[in-house]
Structure 1
Amino acid sequence: MLIETRNLTKQFGGLTAVKDVDFEIEKGKINAIIGPNGAGKSTFFNLVSGSYIPTSGQVIYRGKDITKLPPNKIAELGVARTFQTTNLFEQATVLDNVIVGHRLRTKYNLLDAVLRTKRYKKEEKKCKDKAMEVLDFVGLTNITDQLAGNITQEEKKRVAFALALATDPEVVFLDEPAAGINSGETEGLAELMKKMVKRGITVCLIEHKMQMIMKLADKIMVLNYGEKIAEGSSEEIMNNQDVIEAYLGGDASA
């Protein structure tokens, strides 16, 4: 077990977006979170990655309480995430976009950067080398010099993966990685997630493409109206009556 949430709850005024959710993200596996639209999936991600502070409950990472840590501190511990909307610097190259990721691990200060000291140059080379390594891993070495604004939607998804990987994470949270791409491209991203796990990176994703999730995930949690209604393998989830009712009774497109 890598990350554990205990009674995790988030309220926005009178709305409870996540309610008393206990979940264990298992190391070295593909963990998935599914549920109808508005079920609280992205809020759950935001709580774990530090974008939101819970109303109550805890987030434990490697036995340490990280509930109130800011996102940059959580990222430094080894937790990376992508977002539903891929926000890249459109006027910068693909390489420059990914270089930003590894700056989290650099050891130079502002003065080094201004004076372009030896330490600055050494650390910048490390960032560039790391960026090239992860771009190779995601299969994008052929477009490193292209502007991010000029590449395809599927390539942008891969750049987002590369950016997360450049932070040297232990676990990566992927928020709807296959949104807006076709079935062939979806298959390619699924293979990339398997490759990440083979490299020792734990994956946790939110996804609406059920066919992909059922084939890919080792473990699935289902949220509905902010509450966990089921947890288990693909087979267990597909045969769970509460899950069937949540999808058929609510927004079945989720």
Structure 2
Amino acid sequence: MLKIEKLTKKFGGLAAVNDVSTVIEEGKINAIIGPNGAGKTTFFNLISSMHKPTSGTITFNGQDVTSLRPDQVAKLGIARTFQSTSLFDKATVLDNLIVGHRLRTHSGLWDVLRGSSRLREEERVCREKARDALDFVGLSPIAHRLAGDISQEERKRVAFALALATDPKLLLLDEPAGGVNPEETEGLAQLIRKFVQHGMTVALIEHKMAMIMSLADKILVLSYGEKIAEGTPDAIRRNPAVIDAYLGSEHAEV
């Protein structure tokens, strides 16, 4: 689905991502792990076109997307979440989600001024998509609560729903279980599996190794911006370079 070839991003003299090649496999859960500062979020920023690479190429479903704008990449079907979930706290959860499907609408200023039938129809579709996304992530009961009044775990689910409302093919999830307790983490892991069961592909960055080892089909390991290993969870947990750089010996038998 997504092919990364010799991807490099330099900030001054620092290579945050250095000559990384990999494939995000369709219909699977692909994990990216590594110590803090390994280049994981920069890697996601390159895929979603928030940063442009210094060199290398990114191909999505056969199309070179390396030089596209973020909105163009999103329209092709790549959606992402962030480590910190930023919402419009004074708006309802549902209203926060309506903006997600705006990516797929075509109404302009003239439609707004005229109150056109196209605008009304697109408003209806956006609300429908928002409600469907809320139902998918299990948050329909809090649709009309203010976003500023919901829990951290609920904010994570709203972020998932916002990405879902864009009609994605590939979901990039940056630390989706950050800041939530073990029971909530398991619930989010089940939701990530549900995405794949419904035809989406997932790539996620996460530090919770028990979650990753039970969830991922494939793991890419970065250290100081470079790929040091790639493979199944079983292969990664036994890889001496990964144990030395990140996991520690206690994970070798996880």
- TM-score relative to the length of structure 1: 0.96
Quote how far apart the aligned CAs of 1:114 are: 2.6
CA distance in 1, matches of 2:181, 2:109: 43
Q: Deviations over 1:147-204 (max 9, x none)?
A: 1001000000000000000000000000000000000000000000000000000000
Match of 1:116 in 2: 115
Unaligned runs of 5+ in 2: none
Residue 2 of structure 2 contacts residue 61 of structure 2 at CA under 8 Å; is this kept in 1?
yes
CA distance in 2, matches of 1:66, 1:197: 23
CA distance in 2, matches of 1:248, 1:34: 10
Amino acid at match of 2:8: T
Match of 2:16 in 1: 17
CA distance in 2, matches of 1:15, 1:190: 34
Match of 1:67 in 2: 66
Q: In the alignment, does 2:203 pair up with 1:208? A: no
Residue 228 of structure 2 contacts residue 241 of structure 2 at CA under 8 Å; is this kept in 1?
yes
Matches within 5 A, 1:90-169: 90-169=89-168
Match of 1:27 in 2: 26
Matches within 5 A, 1:214-253: 214-247=213-246
Amino acid at match of 2:173: L
Matched position secondary structure for 1:186:
helix
CA distance in 1, matches of 2:144, 2:112: 23
Q: Deviations over 1:198-238 (max 9, x none)?
A: 00000000001010000000000000000000000000000
Residue 237 of structure 2 contacts residue 247 of structure 2 at CA under 8 Å; is this kept in 1?
no
CA distance in 2, matches of 1:247, 1:148: 36
Q: Deviations over 1:119-164 (max 9, x none)?
A: 1111100000000001000000000000100100000000000000
- TM-score relative to the length of structure 2: 0.96
How many aligned positions are there?
249
CA distance in 2, matches of 1:148, 1:13: 39
Aligned sequence identity (%): 61
Amino acid at match of 1:110: L
Matched position secondary structure for 1:8:
strand
CA distance in 2, matches of 1:38, 1:220: 18
Quote how far apart the aligned CAs of 1:109 are: 1.4
Q: Deviations over 1:7-32 (max 9, x none)?
A: 00000001010000001000000000
CA RMSD of aligned residues (A): 1.0
Residue 171 of structure 2 contacts residue 200 of structure 2 at CA under 8 Å; is this kept in 1?
yes
Quote how far apart the aligned CAs of 1:115 are: 2.3
Residue 33 of structure 2 contacts residue 221 of structure 2 at CA under 8 Å; is this kept in 1?
yes
Amino acid at match of 1:102: H
Amino acid at match of 1:24: V
